[in-house]
């Protein structure tokens, strides 16, 4: 101990500003409330989010949950100082995952950890979460914002999300009925989505030496604008199909790409054969591959390569499903077929 006098410590002097936290909550309230749907029972500020499940709508309701983060795409948000879309990514990574089992997303919670709580920035981030929830038709019913000085830098933060959805037990989609002859439909991605950013940043920002402000003609915009593009949310496109058609299996194409994600829904005895000529590869992937001299197999198991969601359907319904999606303004590609073999993805037409 020392006799030297010190000023009395407060939480604020240690780096945590409770008043800033309160102001952040005030700024985000309108955005959060805009996501509320039937079933939400409580407003912001409680210790837990309350949601009443409509049990009359389902014969045997099964809750489906998912959680994910945004990975090193967060670094791009910080480099570009654009924070109003990264929350869309957090929602998308969760709701797309539960969608593949046939679940309708009901509600979402977020966890946001910051080095310094800047109310306007937090409101921007949570505003993005709210926008993602509106796109997915789910309610943002709770969350946590933790100010962690000394753990994160003042301009650093991390975000994770948690989604809960519901599906009737007899309507769960698990891929078990997939068989040889079935058709694979691919829905396009908006770009990198939220995967492969460590490799993308290595190639573009280090090897090529681009800045986030660098305009690249092949992309038609700056590197930062390309990399910050939000992950697509497929809920509104896919949910209506489940009531009208036979969707045997779905795969959300995240980390691991087409190569690793499609086999996760395949039963024993079948593989998927994809024709690389049936969908366009977006310029961002071509640019990364060229700059980094990345092997084709590495690209296919790291990035989505332009396909963000895959549906496996009976051949008799494939064209009707594609046309139904087209009527919604949703581009869809017939990208392959199911064949006999061990669960894996085989590529032709490269």
pLDDT for 2 equals 56
Percent of the chain with pLDDT over 90: 85
pLDDT for 42 equals 79
Q: Which CA distances in Å does 299 have to 285, 286, 293, 309, 311?
A: 8, 10, 10, 17, 21
Q: Averaged over 72-76, what is the pLDDT? A: 95
Closest CA to 219 of 284, 294, 281, 306: 284
Q: Is 297 exposed, middle or buried (0-12, 13-18, 19+ CB in 10 A)?
A: exposed
Instruction: Indicate left, alpha or beta for 60 from its phi (over 0: left) and psi (-120 to 50: alpha).
Output: beta
Domains of the chain, CATH where assigned: 18-171 (3.30.1330.10), 183-348 (3.90.650.10)
Structure confidence by residue, pLDDT tens digits, 125-147:
999 999 999 999 999 999 999 99
pLDDT for 330 equals 93
The overall longest dimension of the chain from CA atoms, in Å, is 85
pLDDT for 8 equals 84
Structure confidence by residue, pLDDT tens digits, 142-201:
999 999 999 999 999 999 999 999 999 999 999 999 999 999 999 999 999 999 999 999
Structure confidence by residue, pLDDT tens digits, 105-128:
999 999 999 999 999 999 999 999
Q: Which helix (H) or strand (E) holds 346?
A: strand 345-348
pTM of this prediction? 0.93
Q: Which helix (H) or strand (E) holds 237?
A: helix 235-242
pLDDT for 12 equals 76
Q: Which two tokens stand for residue 185?
A: 């439909």
């Amino acid at each position: 101990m020392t006799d030297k006098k010190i000023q009395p410590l407060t939480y604020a002097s240690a780096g945590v500003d409770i008043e800033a936290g309160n102001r952040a909550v005030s700024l985000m309230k309108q955005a959060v409330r805009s996501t509320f749907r039937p079933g939400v029972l409580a407003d912001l500020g409680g210790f837990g989010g309350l949601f009443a499940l409509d049990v009359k709508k389902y014969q045997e309701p099964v809750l489906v949950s998912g959680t994910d983060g945004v990975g090193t795409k967060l670094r791009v948000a910080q480099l570009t100082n654009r924070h109003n879309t990264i929350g869309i990514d957090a929602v998308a990574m969760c709701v797309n995952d539960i969608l593949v089992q046939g679940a309708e997303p009901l509600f979402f919670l977020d966890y946001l950890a910051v080095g310094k709580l800047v109310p306007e920035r937090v409101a921007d981030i949570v505003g993005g979460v709210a926008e993602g929830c509106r796109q997915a038709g789910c309610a943002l019913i709770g969350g946590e914002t933790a100010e962690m000085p000394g753990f994160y830098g003042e301009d650093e933060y991390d975000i994770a999300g948690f989604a809960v959805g519901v599906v009737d037990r007899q309507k769960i989609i698990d891929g078990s009925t997939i068989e040889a002859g079935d058709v694979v439909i691919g829905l396009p991605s908006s770009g990198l989505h939220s995967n492969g950013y460590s490799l993308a940043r290595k190639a573009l920002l280090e090897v090529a030496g681009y800045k986030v402000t660098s305009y690249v003609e092949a992309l038609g915009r700056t590197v930062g604008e390309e990399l910050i593009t939000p992950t697509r949310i497929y809920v509104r496109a896919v949910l209506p199909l489940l009531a009208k058609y036979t969707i045997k299996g779905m795969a959300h194409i995240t980390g691991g790409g087409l190569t690793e994600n499609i086999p996760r829904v395949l039963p024993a005895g079948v593989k998927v054969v994809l024709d690389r000529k049936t969908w366009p590869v977006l310029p961002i992937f071509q640019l990364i591959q060229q700059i980094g001299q990345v092997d084709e197999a590495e690209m296919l198991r790291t990035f989505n390569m332009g396909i963000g969601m895959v549906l496996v359907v009976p051949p008799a319904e494939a064209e009707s499903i594609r046309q139904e999606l087209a009527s919604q303004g949703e581009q869809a590609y017939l990208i392959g077929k199911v064949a006999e073999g061990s669960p894996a993805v085989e590529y032709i037409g490269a």
